[in-house]
Amino acid sequence: MNDLSTTLTPTRFTTERPICIAVMAMGGQGGGVLADWIVELAEQQGWHAQSTSVPGVAQRTGATIYYVEMLPPKAGRAPILSLMPAQGEVDVVLASELMEAGRSILRGLVTPDRTTLIASTHRLYSTAEKEKPGDATADPAVVVDAAGVAAKRTIAFDMEALANKNNSHISACLFGALAASATLPFARESFEAIIKAGGKGIEPSLKAFGAAYEQAVQPDAPRPALARPGKRFAPVPASAGRADLDTLLARMREFPSALHKILFAGVKHLTDFQDPVYAGEYLDRVTKIYQLDRAHGGAAKNYALTAAAAKYIAVAMTYDDVIRVADLKTRKSRFERVQRENSVGEGQIVYTTEYMHPRLEEVAGTMPAPLGRFLESNPALFGWMFRKGRRVRSGTIHWFLMLYLLAALKPIRRTTLRHKREMTHLDAWLALAAERVPENYDLAVEIINTRRLVKGYSDTHARGVSKFDRVIGAVPLLAPRADGAEWMRRLRDAALMDEKGIALDGALKTISTP
């Protein structure tokens, strides 16, 4: 509080209503800074102001609610300000991410008679969205539609992109949008003066503030058209500039043009995972499926079988092994992303600590096949080494070199036990689908799509393979049925519903019942 508020001698409390502001922010987005700016702004104008916060569970899991109330002074009267926002009493909601705006609507903080909703339309996926086996991403269009009904006024655009463009934080953009909304009786210069008094990152913050202010005051700004994110494919180049890669591009062009983008994505991924020769093996497998597809009327169905195979064969061939994990963790782009996401300033030191708990199976899978089988067959001798997880500081020389050496095992990947098992599993899956093409094309497509169940690393991968094998095991029961493809799709969807496979158990019992 400023000197004016501390020198007042309260005789009775004011009954005027304060301006109420709720800030919904996720970890690392500067919600606390934004709340402090708002309080400082009010106090610089001689107002009473108070802020409170309720922290979320953890970064990207929960979100912190910062709540600010402010009131102009009354001589001889001190305000009583609330500690938490109440439904129907909030004048401004500032949401640093689209689903945080949705959460504020669900909590009743946004009301059509009072609330101005200021929100960024970008997405940061929550743990609840990521942990589901299937696609659990929330539909952003639902939040946009709800905001149009729930809020008195909505100011929404991609403030994250604007902040990144100006090398600043989203809190500066939200502050600029708040100034532009005219919900507070303070001039733009007063807002900017608060940023200038901060002492750190002033110029980038002012640029982001100004850019957000200008966008927020645009008349008749178009309503953001949002939908669940779809697949975005890179354009296929005319040439890659290398003979081996150009050979792969030429082979891709032998397929129908509608398949070129998905094939190019697969080739890029396989080349990055291993090498161009490995990407050639990928095209060999897809070519066999395409020939079968073309021979059984696939053109009439837009080569659905080949399109599914082009996607999921690439996924199956780029399994997550220890070599791949070490490779990704030691890439320059990864350290740059960590610094960017944590807004690391110039000269600041970052220490990255990884939690790793490789199982005996992962370590054995990285060994040449004979040695890997020996390790697995003697768990009593070697299992004790992998009972505990380890915290690895990958930014130090010692641990970085350890991971770098693991990543350098890429040339021997084809000799490892894990690779041989993955390729055996993959070939059996493709053979099963190929057997069904002449009799039931649609069922063959669904057998290919079932590979969606296999993903992740360690225990997650093991659970996915278990579900995949159980679903594929139902093929003999489904093959004679006219609705076999539909039931295969239902089984896959049931497997994606829960981690333990309870829904899948019920679906399998249904089809096995005479």
Helix (H) or strand (E) holding 392: strand 390-393
Per-residue pLDDT, averaged over 427-437, amounts to: 95
Q: How many helices (H) and strands (E) does the chain have?
A: 25, 8
The domains of the chain are located at 3-216, 322-415, 419-514
pLDDT bucket at 377, cuts 50 / 70 / 90: confident
Q: What's the pLDDT tens digit per position in 214-256?
A: 988 886 555 555 555 566 777 888 888 899 999 999 999 999 9
Q: What is the pLDDT of residue 33?
A: 87
Judge whether residue 60 has pLDDT over 50. Answer: no
- For the beta carbon of residue 92, count every other beta carbon within 10 angstroms: 24
Give percent of the chain with pLDDT exceeding 90. Answer: 40
3-class SS at 354? strand
Instruction: Please tell me the predicted confidence (pLDDT) of residue 4.
Output: 39
Please count the other Cβ atoms lying within 10 Å of the Cβ belonging to residue 158.
Answer: 19
For 315-371, what is each residue's pLDDT tens digit? 999 998 989 988 998 898 888 887 776 667 777 888 888 887 777 788 888 889 998
Architecture of domain 3-216: 3-Layer(aba) Sandwich (3.40)
Which pLDDT belongs to residue 428? 95
Beta bridge partners of 66: 23, 53
Mean of per-residue pLDDT scores for the chain: 84
pLDDT attached to residue 289? 96
pLDDT at 227: 52
Do 342 and 28 contact (CB within 8 A), yes or no? yes
E strands, 361-505, in order: 390-393
User: What's the rounded mean pLDDT across residues 476-505?
Assistant: 88
How many CB atoms are located within 10 Å of the residue 7 CB? 7
pLDDT greater than 70 at residue 134? no
pLDDT value for 338: 79
Cα separation, 216 vs 249, whole angstroms: 46
- With the CA atoms of 169, 173, 178 and 180 taken in that order, what torsion angle do they form, in degrees rounded to the nearest 10? 160
**Within 10 A of 453 (CB to CB), how many other CB atoms are there?**
23
**Average pLDDT over every residue of 469-489:** 91
Instruction: Enter the tokens of residue 437.
Output: 């093409």
Given pLDDT bands bounded at 50, 70 and 90, which one contains residue 5? very low
Closest alpha carbon to 259 in 229, 284, 220, 290: 290
Distance, CA of 202 to chain centre: 30
How far apart are alpha carbons 417 and 404 in whole angstroms? 21
| The pTM of the whole model exceeds 0.75 | no
- Looking at residue 77, the DSSP 8-state letter turns out to be B
pLDDT (mean) for 23-31: 75
Q: Which residues touch 231 (CB under 8 Å, ≥6 apart)?
A: none
- Residue 53's φ and ψ, nearest 5 degrees, are -150, 145
SS (H, E, C) 289-322: HHHHHHHCCHHHHCCHHHHHHHHHHHHHHCCCCH
